[in-house]
Amino acid sequence: MKRKQVSTIFLRLVIFLIGIPILALCIFLVPEIANYAAKLYPDIAYIKYLVLMDLYATAIPFYFALYQAFKLLSYIDKNKAFSELSVRVLKNIKYCAITIGILYVAGMPLFYLMAEIEDAPGIILLGIVIIFASIVIAVLAAVLQRLLQEAIDIKTENDLIV
């Protein structure tokens, strides 16, 4: 087995291990958070569903980004890392990170309402950390996308010259 394949297998394992706790959170913790929000604000009947929609909606682009990362690793294994396919994957990851950030920004009023009743600023801080992490991931993916596109353009020019 080649060294490159060992590292991509390791990265696939890491991606898989990142997905498991988020799935567990979606199954066990998100419904509890929504029920807790409903208990805090019994006069706002739909708050439970808003919390559920916001948190579950962020899981969709998260898992799509993990799938895209798997695709990128398969392109690396097939020696197609410097291809338009990889650029497209990085663009998709960038859009997923932006979507997650937007969904958390949209959900911040809900987090604020919960933090206000409980006097727990950690809830808001957690939301802000997730927003900034998504921004960092989006910027990183955009930079990698641009660098990869430039490398592909240089390679194409060199192929035309030779």
pLDDT by residue (tens digit) across 66-114? Answer: 999 999 999 999 999 899 999 999 999 999 999 999 999 999 999 998 8
* CA nearest to 57, candidates 14, 116, 110: 110
pLDDT by residue (tens digit) across 7-43? Answer: 899 999 999 999 999 999 999 999 999 999 999 999 9
pLDDT by residue (tens digit) across 41-55? Answer: 999 889 999 999 999
Question: Considering just the CA atoms, what is the radius of gyration of the chain in Å?
Answer: 20
Tell me how far the alpha carbon of residue 76 is from its chain's centroid.
21
- The residue extents of the domains of the chain are 3-161
User: Are the beta carbons of 7 and 44 closer than 8 angstroms?
Assistant: no
- Residue count (the chain): 162
Global pTM reads 0.91
